Amino acid sequence: MPRVVVDVMPKPEILDPQGKAVLGALPRLGFGGVTDVRQGKRFELEVEGEVTEAVLAQVREMAETLLSNPVIENFDVRVEETA
Amino acid sequence: MRIGVVTFPGSLDDVDARRAVRLGGHEAVALWHGDHDLRGVDAVVLPGGFSYGDYLRCGAISRFAPVMTEVVEAAGRGMPVLGICNGFQILCESHLLPGALVRNESQKFVCRDQRLRIENNRTAWTSAYAEGQEVTIVLKNGEGGFIADAETLDRLEGEGQVVARYLDGNPNGSLRDIAGITNERGNVVGLMPHPEHAVEELTGAGTDGLGFFTSALAAVEETFA
């Protein structure tokens, strides 16, 4: 079954309070060496048939329209092989 | 005048908003998210709450509700639209207003009586106030930080599209202390604080919010006269 993955991340210039909270929690748990954390979303889309360029174009449209808000987020679309 | 208040699944303040509309001297009309119908209203309020559970992003799903097609179309014709809190988020997601609302910088839900300055009293919803008037209106939000790129912020400031600004401390990290904005035409207003909770002495922090609901009358009489 082909799977298309859409990663949505807050834009670098946008403050990410959730990532900041995670970053703050790590040292308290004894994890050192992490200088920054950004928190985003991952969508896994199971699609019918082959993942053609047309399918990917449609997924990009979905990402722009619904999955992400282009004002505050960037997205990345890729195909993942599943067993 | 008839003012519609939209109920989405997860709206919380639709009943309060309808009450505020009546106290403002209008007829309140309940509108349903699933209808392609504004029932002939003269203005629309998108109330606060957690429509669609705030799933995906606040306002992201509501934006595609059937009633929003009608709201966007009517707003384009100049109909006054007021989005409060979650309603503000829906207006941004619908691109009726620029920018976006993100999680409070503090990561905490904030609930308090908030001092505000009305920066623009030329909108459909703020004409009852004096420019620069300071008011106290209830604020309650978890994702109320207004953000936009510097160019957009400069344009909003330059064109006088900042409607209200936070005083006595910024509650949520909103850029330039912005509490509310309007579109270029001044008929669409988004506001993070809740004027519908500040319309009666008995239950709120005074009645400073009432002006948002009495203003609408003047706006519509002007538009449709």
Q: Give the ipTM of the model, two decimals please.
A: 0.85
d(CA B180, CA B125): 11
Phi (first) and psi of residue B144, to 5 degrees: -120, 10
Check CB contact of A71 with chain B, cutoff 8 Å: yes
Binary contact (B102, A14; C-beta < 8 A): yes
Nearest to B33 by CA among B53, B4, B7, B71: B7
d(CA B183, CA B187): 7
Q: Which residues of A touch B149 (CB under 8 A)?
A: 13
- In the prediction, which pLDDT does B222 show? 62
Residue B221 pLDDT more than 70? no
Residue B37's Cα: distance from chain center in Å?
21
Q: For residue range A15-47, what is the model confidence (pLDDT) as tens digits?
A: 888 899 999 999 999 999 999 999 999 999 999
Q: Which residue of B has its CA nearest to A43?
A: B56
Question: Is residue B221 among the annotated active site residues?
Answer: no
Binary contact (B102, A21; C-beta < 8 A): no
| Percentage of residues in chain A having pLDDT higher than 70 | 99
d(CA B217, CA B213): 8
d(CA B160, CA B208): 22
Q: Which residues of A touch B98 (CB under 8 A)?
A: 71
Q: What does the domain layout of chain A look like in residue ranges? A: 3-80
Residue B210 pLDDT more than 90? yes
Binary contact (B173, A15; C-beta < 8 A): yes
- In the prediction, which pLDDT does A83 show? 63
Optimal mutation site among A71, A73, A74, interface B, most CBs of chain B within 10 A: A71
Angle between helices B14-23 and B211-224 (to 10 degrees): 70
Token pair of B172 as six digits: 């949520």
3-state SS assignment for residue B65: coil
3-state SS assignment for residue B6: strand
- In the prediction, which pLDDT does A81 show? 79
| Cβ(B199)–Cβ(B210) below 8 Å | yes
Chain A residues 16-55 within an 8 A CB cutoff of chain B: 17-18, 20-21
Nearest to A24 by CA among A34, A15, A14: A34
What residue type is assigned to position B61 of the chain? I
Binary contact (B99, A21; C-beta < 8 A): no
Q: Count of H helices and E strands in chain B?
A: 5, 11
Residue of B58, B85, B92, B197 marked active site: B85
Token pair of B27 as six digits: 């007829």
* Mean pLDDT over the full length of chain B: 94
Fold annotation for A3-80: Mth169; Chain: A , (3.30.1280)
Question: Is residue B194 among the annotated active site residues?
Answer: yes
Residue of B70, B119, B143, B196 marked active site: B196
d(CA B73, CA B77): 7
Q: For residue range B52-78, what is the model confidence (pLDDT) as tens digits?
A: 999 999 999 999 999 999 999 999 999
Domains and CATH numbers, chain B: 2-224 (3.40.50.880)
Give strand pairing partners of A41: A8
* Mean pLDDT over the full length of chain A: 93
- In the prediction, which pLDDT does B134 show? 98
Q: How confident is the model at residue B158 (pLDDT cuts 50, 70, 90)?
A: very high
Question: Is residue B85 among the annotated active site residues?
Answer: yes
